[in-house]
C-alpha cells in the first residue's frame, strides 16, 4: 500500500496526497479531508525510506555510547529518545562496548543509514575513527573531548564546580586524609576530574599525598581494588572521592566485606549521580552530572547544526555544571582511621549541617 493507493481511492493525484500529509497549505480543505479519510481507513503510513531518499533528510540521529549496560548511559538514551520523539526524529543507538572495531562499525552503520548527526557519548575514543563522519560534514557533538571545528559541537563539563563542593564538604566534616580514586588516566575526562580534585584541595590548603591517589577504571571492581590498596596504608584515608559512582559503589561494597561502616568509619563521595546512587546502602553522596541535561544539550546541538545553513567556524560550545548532592555516605571524620575487620555499632550520623536533597 503506497501513496498511489491513497491517491487512487481519494481520486486525487499523488502530489495532493503528499501535500496533504506534509501540511502544505495550498490544499483545499475539502480535498484534504477526503485524503485524510482514506489515509485513516487504509491505515496508511508513509514510507520513511522513500521520503529520506528523495528529500535527502533521513530524520535519524546517531547516538554512540560506551556501553548501554553501564547505568550511566540509559538515562541519556532515554532523554535523547524523548527529544527525538518530540522532534520527529529516530535514534540509531549503538553501544561500542569499548571496542574500537565496534566503534568503527558504528560509524559505518551511521553513514550507511545517512544519519543527520551523531552524538558521541563515550568515555574514551580514537578521534580518527570519526574521520569518515567529518569528511561527510555530518554534525557531531562530543562530551568534553571534541575538537573545535565546523559542524562539531562540544559539551564541556565544569568538573571543578562540583568536585570543589565535594572536597569542601569533606573538609567541613573535619576530614584531612582525603583520597581520590580516578578513572583510567589514559582518558582525558578522567584526568580532568583528577585535576579538578587536586585544584580544589590546593585551594583550601589540604595536601594530597600521592599514595592517596589511586588510578581506578570506572568500574565497581576498580573501586574494590582501590579500597583494598588504600587500606594497606599505615594511615588510611577517612574520606574518599571517586571519579564515578560505580567506583564508589565498589568502595562501599568492599567496605562491607572489610567490616568498615559507611559513613561512620569512612566517608565516600561518588561522581555522576546515576539513579542507582539513591539506592545504595547508604544512599550515596555524589557529584551530579545530569544525564538528562547531557541528552538535552547534545540533542539540541545537533538540531541546531542541522538547521544551520552556514556552519560556524569553530562549532559550538555548551557548558554543563556539576554540583554536589548530599545523601548519607558522608559524615564527620572518625577519630581513628578505618581498619579492616572492625565492626561499629551505628553511631549518630552527621553531615555538618549541610542541606540534604
Contacting residues toward DNA, per CB under 7 A: 2-4, 11-16, 18-19, 21-22, 26-28, 30-31, 46-47, 50-51, 53-56
The binder of a second copy chosen from 14, 31, 91, 354 (CB under 8 A): 91
The binder of a second copy chosen from 28, 48, 137, 347 (CB under 8 A): 48
For residue 118, give Cα distances in angstroms to 133, 195, 356: 9, 29, 37
Note whether 105 binds a second copy by CB under 8 A: yes
CA 288-290-174 angle, 5° bins: 5
Residues 121-160, mask of contacts with a second copy (x by CB under 8 A): -----------x--x-------------------------
Q: Shortest CA distance to 17 belongs to which of 41, 48, 53, 44? A: 44
The residue among 1 and 85 lying less far from DNA, judged by its C-beta, is 1
Note whether 345 binds a second copy by CB under 8 A: yes
Spatial separation of the C-alpha atoms in residues 119 and 153, rounded to whole Å: 9
Q: Shortest CA distance to 39 belongs to which of 74, 2, 75? A: 2
Question: Minimum distance from CB of 264 to a second copy (Å)?
Answer: 13
- Count the residues in the chain: 357
Note whether 46 binds a second copy by CB under 8 A: yes
- Sheet of strand 178-182: strand arrangement: 213-215, 178-182, 239-242, 267-272, 285-288, 323-325
The residue among 55 and 148 lying less far from DNA, judged by its C-beta, is 55
Spatial separation of the C-alpha atoms in residues 88 and 64, rounded to whole Å: 19
Note whether 69 binds a second copy by CB under 8 A: yes
Among DNA, a second copy, none, the one that 345 touches (CB under a kind-dependent 5 to 8 A) is: a second copy
Among DNA, a second copy, none, the one that 43 touches (CB under a kind-dependent 5 to 8 A) is: a second copy
Spatial separation of the C-alpha atoms in residues 238 and 330, rounded to whole Å: 10
| Bridge partner list, 241 | 180, 269
Among a second copy, DNA, none, the one that 211 touches (CB under a kind-dependent 5 to 8 A) is: none
Instruction: Kindly report whether the peptide bond that precedes residue 60 is cis, defined as omega within 30 degrees of 0.
Output: no
Binding site for a second copy (CB under 8 A): 43, 45-50, 52-53, 58, 67-69, 71, 73-75, 77-78, 81, 85, 90-95, 97, 102, 105, 108-109, 111-114, 132, 135, 220, 249, 252-253, 256, 275-276, 279-282, 343, 345-346
Amino acid at each position: 500500500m503506497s501513496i498511489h493507493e491513497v491517491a487512487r481511492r481519494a481520486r486525487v493525484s499523488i502530489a495532493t496526497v503528499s501535500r496533504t500529509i506534509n501540511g502544505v497549505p495550498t490544499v483545499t480543505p475539502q480535498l484534504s479531508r477526503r485524503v485524510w479519510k482514506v489515509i485513516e481507513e487504509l491505515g496508511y503510513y508513509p514510507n520513511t525510506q522513500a521520503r529520506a531518499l528523495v528529500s535527502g533528510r533521513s530524520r535519524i540521529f546517531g547516538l554512540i555510547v560506551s556501553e548501554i549496560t553501564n547505568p550511566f548511559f540509559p538515562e541519556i538514551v532515554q532523554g535523547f529518545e524523548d527529544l527525538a520523539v518530540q522532534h520527529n526524529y529516530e535514534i540509531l543507538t549503538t553501544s561500542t562496548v569499548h571496542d574500537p572495531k565496534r566503534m568503527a562499525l558504528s560509524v559505518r552503520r551511521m553513514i550507511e543509514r545517512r544519519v543527520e548527526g551523531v552524538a558521541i557519548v563515550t568515555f574514551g575514543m580514537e578521534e580518527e575513527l570519526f574521520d569518515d563522519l567529518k569528511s561527510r560534514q555530518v554534525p557531531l557533538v562530543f562530551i568534553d573531548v571534541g575538537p573545535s571545528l565546523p559542524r562539531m559541537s562540544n559539551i564541556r563539563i565544569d568538573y571543578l564546580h562540583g568536585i570543589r563542593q565535594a572536597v569542601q564538604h569533606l573538609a567541613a566534616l573535619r576530614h584531612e586524609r582525603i583520597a581520590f580514586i580516578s578513572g583510567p588516566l589514559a582518558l582525558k575526562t578522567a584526568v580532568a576530574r583528577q585535576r579538578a580534585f587536586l585544584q580544589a584541595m590546593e585551594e583550601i590548603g589540604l595536601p594530597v599525598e600521592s599514595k592517596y591517589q589511586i588510578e581506578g577504571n570506572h568500574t565497581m571492581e576498580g573501586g574494590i581494588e582501590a579500597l583494598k590498596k588504600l587500606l594497606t596504608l599505615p594511615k588510611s584515608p577517612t574520606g574518599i572521592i571517586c571519579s564515578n559512582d560505580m567506583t564508589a559503589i565498589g568502595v562501599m561494597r568492599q567496605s562491607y566485606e572489610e567490616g568498615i561502616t559507611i559513613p561512620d568509619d569512612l566517608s565516600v563521595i561518588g561522581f555522576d549521580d546515576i539513579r542507582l546512587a539513591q539506592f545504595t546502602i547508604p544512599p550515596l553522596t555524589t557529584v551530579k552530572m545530569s544525564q538528562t541535561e547531557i541528552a538535552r544539550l547534545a540533542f539540541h546541538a545537533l538540531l541546531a547544526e542541522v538547521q544551520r545553513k552556514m556552519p560556524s567556524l569553530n562549532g559550538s560550545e555548551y557548558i554543563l555544571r556539576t554540583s554536589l548532592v548530599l545523601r548519607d555516605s558522608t559524615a564527620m571524620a572518625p577519630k581513628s582511621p578505618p581498619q579492616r575487620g572492625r565492626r561499629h555499632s551505628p553511631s549518630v550520623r552527621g553531615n555538618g549541617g549541610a542541606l540534604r536533597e
